[in-house]
């Protein structure tokens, strides 16, 4: 199964570091966070990756051209400078036709069990599955009935509870809900399939951390330094 990693944004909230490189290429104790994400998937036997690049894409392309990892297939695709999350995925449709695939953001680490996530998706046979996590309420909030997502709201500072942690699994039908470059995946597409009962939540109570700030970067590095990084 292929895994898409969204890595095209500008990372404005950590601009002191992302001015010189794409956010996913910011190093967490010597290794880019995107590399650490790939290695987490690799632990579960995932070897085929498509990176949706954009902002300063050359950094990503050069890194993975030079860094040859045994058994890994990594394709870096330019999905545009100002393309939104849904639009980036839409541009990859030709590589993902008629198949189930995984997708995540290039700035978030987690201890989520990928094997169990995929099994959960296959069992429920829905268009999409997202990993629901419980960090601070500054991300997309979701309301869950059983395992079905009944409501999806993008980045609310008021809602507390389960939120969108990335680490998705999608059926290729998701592409029907994405109009083009200006489409945010987290808005119309996910909202529509959730209303149709086609978006389920894989609840993950374990570790999850997005690298939005320098403080987040330091926190992740400290976990590695003290041999306490749950995703490794």
Q: What residue has token string 């970067």?
A: 217
Q: What residue has token string 């109009």?
A: 179
Query: In angstroms, what is the C-alpha Rg of the chain?
Result: 16
**Alpha-carbon span 194 to 60, nearest angstrom:** 33
Give just the sign of the alpha carbon dihedral 152, 88, 3, 226. Answer: negative
Domain ranges within the chain, ordered by starting residue: 2-224
Asked whether residue 17 carries a pLDDT value surpassing 80, the answer given is: no
For residue range 89-124, what is the model confidence (pLDDT) as tens digits? 999 999 998 899 999 999 999 999 999 999 999 999
User: Residue 48 in 3-state DSSP?
Assistant: strand
User: Residue 215 in 3-state DSSP?
Assistant: helix
pLDDT at 148 (0 to 100): 87
For residue range 37-56, what is the model confidence (pLDDT) as tens digits? 999 999 999 999 999 999 99
**Alpha-carbon span 191 to 210, nearest angstrom:** 22
pTM: 0.88
pLDDT at 95 (0 to 100): 96
Least confidently predicted of 65-79, 84-98, 138-152: 138-152
Asked whether residue 139 carries a pLDDT value surpassing 80, the answer given is: no
Q: What is the mean pLDDT of the chain?
A: 91
Q: What is the CATH number of domain 2-224?
A: 3.90.550.10
pLDDT at 152 (0 to 100): 73
Nearest of 26, 64, 40 to residue 221 by alpha carbon: 26
Asked whether residue 159 carries a pLDDT value surpassing 70, the answer given is: no
């Amino acid at each position: 199964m292929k895994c898409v990693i969204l890595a095209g944004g500008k990372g404005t909230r950590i601009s002191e570091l992302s001015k010189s490189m794409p956010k996913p290429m910011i190093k967490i104790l010597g290794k880019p966070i995107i590399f650490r994400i790939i290695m987490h998937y690799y632990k579960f036997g995932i070897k085929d990756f498509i990176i949706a690049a954009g902002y300063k894409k050359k950094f990503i392309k050069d890194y993975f051209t030079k860094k040859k990892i045994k058994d890994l297939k990594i394709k870096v695709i330019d999905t545009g400078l100002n393309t939104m999350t849904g639009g980036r995925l839409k541009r990859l449709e030709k590589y993902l036709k008629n198949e189930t695939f995984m997708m995540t953001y290039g700035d978030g680490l987690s201890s989520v069990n990928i094997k169990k996530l995929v099994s959960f998706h296959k069992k429920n046979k829905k268009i999409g599955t997202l990993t629901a996590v419980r960090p601070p309420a500054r991300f997309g909030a979701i309301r869950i009935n059983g395992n079905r997502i009944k409501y999806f709201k993008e980045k609310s500072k008021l809602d507390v509870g389960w939120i969108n942690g990335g680490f998705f699994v999608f059926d290729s039908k998701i592409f029907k809900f994405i109009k083009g470059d200006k489409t945010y995946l987290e808005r119309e597409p996910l909202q529509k399939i959730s209303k149709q009962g086609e978006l389920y939540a894989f609840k993950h109570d374990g570790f999850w951390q997005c690298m939005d700030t320098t403080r987040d970067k330091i926190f992740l590095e400290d976990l590695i330094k003290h041999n306490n990084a749950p995703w490794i």
